[in-house]
């Protein structure tokens, strides 16, 4: 049923309907990536940037939209309802804006605090959505920080290599 290992609702929808997801990206002026995992990342970024309008478009292409509507007692023509209680609401968009200002350490502390709260109130769906959102942002930031560190290390090695080569060239020129 699932073409990949979907981690959340956006992953699931995009992996099930990649051509429709690509059309949404294209509609907002972005070139859709060819690789499925890159397409998922691009869609999540678009959702973070544009919010609710993109979420509604994703709901409209949800692979089980018809089934969800039927089993939840809604009419098939209720296009704004998917039944999955998407975590990317307007409230979550505000949370994402606030998260972008936090450091990785502050995000980790916030994640730990929200996670503890969610264990006390497992039925609180908005709180669970916040946990998922903070976790996604924390993972993204850690990967981004790791890439920056790797690039800095690579740059350092490049400088050392250039220094050694320059020393060899100068040494040969002087001898």
> What's the pLDDT tens digit per position in 90-111?
555 567 667 777 788 888 888 8
| Entry pTM | 0.42
pLDDT at residue 68 in the model: 73
Q: Is the pLDDT of residue 24 over 90?
A: yes
Instruction: Give me the residue label for tokens 């560190």.
Output: 149
User: Could you tell me which of 73, 65, 78, 50 has the C-alpha nearest to residue 20?
Assistant: 65
> What's the pLDDT tens digit per position in 114-154?
888 888 888 888 888 888 888 888 888 788 777 777 777 77
Q: CB burial class (10 A; 0-12, 13-18, 19+) of residue 105? A: exposed
Contact between 110 and 102 under an 8 Å Cβ cutoff? The reply is yes
pLDDT at residue 97 in the model: 67
Query: Span 53-67, mean pLDDT?
Result: 85
Q: How many CA atoms lie within 13 A of 23 on its CB side?
A: 8
* Dihedral angle of Cα 26, 32, 38, 41, to the nearest 10 degrees: -10
Max alpha carbon distance in the chain (Å)? 88
Q: Is the pLDDT of residue 2 over 90?
A: no
Q: Extract the tokens encoding 40.
A: 């998922």
């Amino acid at each position: 049923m699932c073409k990949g290992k979907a981690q959340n609702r956006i992953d699931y929808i995009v992996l099930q309907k990649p051509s429709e997801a690509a059309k949404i990206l294209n509609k907002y002026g972005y070139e859709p990536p060819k690789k499925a995992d890159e397409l998922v990342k691009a869609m999540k970024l678009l959702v973070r940037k544009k919010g609710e309008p993109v979420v509604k478009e994703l709901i409209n292409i949800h692979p089980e939209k018809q089934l969800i509507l039927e089993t939840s007692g809604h009419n098939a023509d209720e296009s704004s309802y998917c039944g999955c209680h998407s975590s990317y609401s307007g409230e979550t968009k505000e949370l994402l804006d606030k998260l972008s200002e936090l450091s990785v350490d502050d995000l980790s502390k916030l994640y730990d605090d929200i996670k503890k709260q969610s264990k006390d109130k497992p039925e609180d769906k908005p709180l669970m959505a916040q946990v998922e959102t903070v976790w996604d942002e924390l993972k993204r930031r850690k990967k981004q920080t790791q890439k920056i560190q790797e690039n800095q290390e690579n740059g350092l090695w490049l400088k050392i290599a250039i220094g050694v080569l320059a020393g060899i060239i100068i040494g040969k020129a002087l001898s």
